[in-house]
Amino acid sequence: MGKSALITGITGQDGSYLAEFLLARGYRVHGLVRRRSPATLARIAHLVEGPERSSDLLLHDGDLGDPLALRAIAERADPDEVYHLAAQSHVGLSFTQPETTIQTTGLGAVRMLEAVRGHRDRSRREVRYYQAGSSEMFGGSPAPQSEVTPFRPRSPYGCAKVLAHQATLIAREAYGLFACNGILFNHESPRRGEEFVTRKVARAAARIRVDPAERLALGNLEARRDWGYAPDFVEAMWRMLQQDAPGDWVVATGVTHSVRDLLEVAFGHVGLDWRDHVDVDRALLRPLDVDDLCGDATRARRELGWRPRQRFEDMIVEMTEREVERAAIDDATHGSRREI
């Protein structure tokens, strides 16, 4: 029998890549999916139906707000490994919806841990747990950030992730749960949500190439991020749960770029000068932002044997190319494109 895994957040960017990664390694994959209208299965649609569909993928309805449902799903899936990825993951939104963010991203993780620990105790077999931590937890701590850097979150999202991180440590130390914290720096892909800055810029560059009258509105152009590639990063999650002992690991590329650098690459790729097409909109500035994130992933390299493969420039070009294709499909289907 192969291993089985439960992924919360399977419909998100990372969940979709992780599902593909685990299915390719012979896992039976269970995914937690919340009911939303319209349905949000786009990123895993190819695994659910069509020629690539997998009979080893099983979806379960549930929501992080419902502890009974989480408990029932842990029982039904009976997984060897749990990857807890579901969260309200938008930092900017967490300022306008702090309570929802703390509920979903913070307490949701506490509920998931309790469901997994209860199942482990009842079934008397080991379950390994991964918590999707974030570089946002470092907030105001100067770069480079590693596992020993103090957490100084500067957003409700960062606070919620610190709560989830500490709850994971407590489950490990108090109850002996094999529970790992990944502290992942930004990671992107063509499947990134449209509201995050890399996808927003890639999409705008592709559309403005076709219609130079369109404008792109952005907030803070000076922020620096350590942007990696999501398919590389989900492999690090898996490697954590294959170790002999649980631990906490920073996953990052160690290279930092500004939003301006991002604009140079994406607009440059389609032959445009971004300065002619971008407006700074003060409404898009966050009440507090994190200036500079750059991770030191020495421990992950040494202990997990993990290293990033994709370079920032190549990733942004891939994302922009994908948006060029999407813009062409939008044009052909609708005759006009949607708003940026």
Token pair 């291993």 in the structure block, residue: 3
* Residue 92 found at the interface with ligand NAP (CB under 6 A): no
CB of 101: closest distance to ligand F7E in angstroms?
Answer: 10
* Residue 89 found at the interface with ligand NAP (CB under 6 A): yes
Mapped onto helix, strand or coil, the DSSP state of residue 313 is helix
Inter-residue contact 195 to 89 (CB < 8 Å): no
Contact partner at residue 12 from ligand F7E, ligand NAP, none, CB < 5 to 8 Å by partner kind: ligand NAP
CB of 218: closest distance to ligand F7E in angstroms?
Answer: 4
Q: Which of 9, 79, 92, 106 binds ligand NAP (CB under 6 A)?
A: 9
* Residue 253 found at the interface with ligand F7E (CB under 6 A): no
* Residue 197 found at the interface with ligand F7E (CB under 6 A): yes
Contact partner at residue 65 from ligand F7E, ligand NAP, none, CB < 5 to 8 Å by partner kind: ligand NAP
Inter-residue contact 182 to 133 (CB < 8 Å): yes
Contact positions with ligand NAP (CB under 6 A) in 190-209: 193
d(CA 183, CA 165): 9
Inter-residue contact 80 to 3 (CB < 8 Å): yes
- 125 Cβ neighbours under 8 A, 6+ residues apart: none
- 325 Cβ neighbours under 8 A, 6+ residues apart: none
* Residue 95 found at the interface with ligand F7E (CB under 6 A): no
d(CA 49, CA 268): 37
Q: Which of 33, 109, 162, 259 binds ligand F7E (CB under 6 A)?
A: 259
Inter-residue contact 41 to 213 (CB < 8 Å): no
Query: 226 vs 323, which CB is nearer to ligand NAP?
Result: 226
The count of chain residues that interact with ligand F7E, using the rule CB under 6 A, is: 21
Q: Residue by residue, what is the 3-state secondary structure of 240-292?
A: HHCCCCCCEEEECCCCCEEHHHHHHHHHHHCCCCHHHCEEECHHHCCCCCCCE
* Residue 109 found at the interface with ligand F7E (CB under 6 A): no
Query: Site map for ligand F7E, 24-63, x if CB under 6 A?
Result: ----------------------------------------
Sequential DSSP letters for 108-134: HHHHHHHHHHHHHHHHTS--EEEEEEE
* Residue 98 found at the interface with ligand F7E (CB under 6 A): no
Q: Which of 104, 149, 155, 320 binds ligand NAP (CB under 6 A)?
A: 104
* Residue 89 found at the interface with ligand F7E (CB under 6 A): yes
> What is the distance, to the nearest Å, from the Cα of residue 180 to the centroid of all Cα atoms in its chain?
16
* Residue 40 found at the interface with ligand NAP (CB under 6 A): yes
Contact partner at residue 259 from ligand F7E, ligand NAP, none, CB < 5 to 8 Å by partner kind: ligand F7E
- Which phi and psi (to 5°) does residue 284 adopt? -95, 0
Residue (of 194, 205, 218) closest to 269 by Cα position: 205
Mapped onto helix, strand or coil, the DSSP state of residue 144 is coil
d(CA 76, CA 240): 24
List, by residue number, the catalytic residues.
Answer: 134, 136, 157
Q: Which of 220, 243, 258, 298 binds ligand F7E (CB under 6 A)?
A: 220
CB of 88: closest distance to ligand F7E in angstroms?
Answer: 9
Return residues touching ligand F7E (CB under 6 A).
89, 91-92, 134-136, 185-186, 195-197, 200, 218-220, 223, 225, 259, 284, 286, 289
Binding residues vs ligand NAP (CB under 6 A): 9, 11-15, 32, 34, 36, 40, 63-65, 85-89, 104, 132, 134, 184, 186-187, 193
